């Protein structure tokens, strides 16, 4: 890990709270996606418990991009912890495949049941996730409920660390993940009600990889990218400052090659998380910000039917 700057008082306090919380766990299996939240939990567990009493668990699923699994493996190796990579069967569960608003509950149930089995097999007393203090204040996080039902620990939330504090502590500790963009699972790109299939997940992954290569060739440093499968049309979401430039690129051919042929004109709008939750009937829904449309050439402005981004995915 890189040597970070001298810690700020706020970061040191947050880090101390987190390490102290994890120190009570005895031993720990961290449900580890490779994202900023679970990466900090894993690094803190090593500090609190030692590498010998800490392990990382990463699910292998069609919904997890191969690049994310590779990054997770590299991070765990750098910490010197066991990295247990296990295939999970979310697609065997009807509630997950049907892709309703509680999709994340079914997914997390399967993944965390697997994590609990693996923890027991390896003599690890506790399973922990990367749920942070901001996540638990969100009124619509069905995946968190799956963890609570199973007694899974949430050390970031327990220690009161917000997403901003996660990034601040990670930077102080020199973790390469400190500024990593959120990378929710590929299922979050598929609009509610559109069935989840391996083919749909694979074409989203191919499309995003191809688009990132095209953006890099065009000199566009796009941070957030989502290819939304709306069940017919496809929408591309990028950072607001890049919408006009992306709308001016010829990207329809890349999407067609990825498997989105015959979907019509491509919508390019500003990235926003939680767009689809706007229309859900549950109380307490926080509204998503309006998209910023743009479109020229083979692209056009789109509507607001998107797919919800979860927090740090397992």
Domain ranges, ordered by start, for the chain: 9-172, 186-300
Quote the CA–CA distance of 222 and 216 in Å, as a whole number: 8
* pLDDT at position 122: 97
Quote the CA–CA distance of 56 and 50 in Å, as a whole number: 13
Radius of gyration of the chain measured on its C-alpha atoms: 19
Q: Would you state the structure tokens that stand for residue 220, as one six-digit string?
A: 């566009």
Phi, psi of 226 (to 5 degrees): -135, 130
The answer to whether 204 and 234 have CB atoms below 8 angstroms apart is no
Q: Would you state the structure tokens that stand for residue 250, as one six-digit string?
A: 């010829």
Helix ranges (H only) for the chain are 9-22, 36-49, 66-79, 94-97, 103-121, 133-137, 142-149, 155-158, 163-172, 198-217, 243-247, 252-255
Q: What is the pLDDT along the chain (314 residues), one digit of tens a residue?
A: 444 444 455 667 999 999 999 999 999 999 999 999 999 999 999 999 999 999 999 999 999 998 899 999 999 999 999 999 999 999 999 999 999 999 999 999 999 999 999 999 999 999 999 999 999 887 677 888 899 999 999 999 999 999 999 999 999 999 999 999 988 899 999 999 999 999 999 999 999 999 999 999 999 999 999 999 998 889 999 999 999 999 999 899 999 999 998 766 789 999 987 665 655 665 444 433 333 334 433 333 333 233 333 443 34
- The CATH superfamily assigned to 9-172 is HUPs (3.40.50.620)
Instruction: Give the burial class of 261: count Cβ atoms within 10 A of its Cβ; 0-12 exposed, 13-18 middle, 19 or more buried.
Output: exposed
Measured in Å, how far apart are the chain's first and last C-alpha atoms?
A: 22
Quote the CA–CA distance of 153 and 132 in Å, as a whole number: 11
């Amino acid at each position: 890990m890189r040597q970070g700057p001298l810690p700020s008082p706020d970061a040191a306090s947050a880090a101390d709270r987190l390490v102290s919380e994890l120190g009570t766990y005895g031993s720990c299996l961290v449900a580890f996606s490779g994202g900023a939240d679970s990466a900090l939990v894993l690094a803190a567990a090593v500090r609190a418990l030692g590498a010998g009493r800490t392990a990382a668990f990463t699910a292998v699923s069609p919904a997890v991009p191969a690049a994310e699994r590779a990054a997770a493996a590299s991070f765990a190796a750098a910490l010197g912890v066991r990295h247990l990579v296990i295939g999970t069967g979310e697609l065997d569960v009807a509630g997950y495949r049907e892709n309703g608003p509680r999709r994340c509950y079914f997914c997390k149930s399967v993944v965390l049941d697997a994590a609990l089995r693996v923890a027991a097999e390896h003599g690890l007393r506790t399973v922990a996730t990367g749920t942070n203090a901001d996540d638990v204040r969100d009124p619509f996080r069905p995946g968190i409920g799956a963890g609570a039902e199973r007694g899974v620990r949430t050390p970031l939330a327990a220690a009161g660390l917000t997403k901003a504090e996660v990034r601040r502590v990670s930077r102080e500790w020199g973790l390469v993940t400190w500024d990593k963009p959120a990378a929710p699972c590929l299922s979050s790109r598929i609009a509610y009600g559109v069935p989840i299939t391996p083919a749909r997940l694979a074409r989203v992954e191919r499309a995003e990889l191809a688009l990132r290569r095209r953006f890099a060739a065009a000199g566009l440093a796009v941070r957030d990218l989502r290819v939304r499968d709306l069940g017919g049309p496809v929408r591309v979401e990028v950072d607001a400052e890049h919408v006009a430039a992306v709308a001016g690129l010829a990207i329809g051919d890349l999407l067609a090659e990825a498997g989105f042929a015959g979907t019509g004109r491509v919508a390019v709008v500003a990235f926003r998380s939680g767009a689809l939750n706007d229309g859900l009937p549950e109380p307490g829904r926080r509204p998503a910000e309006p998209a910023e449309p743009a479109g020229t050439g083979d692209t056009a402005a789109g509507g607001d039917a998107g797919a919800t981004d979860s927090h740090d995915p397992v």
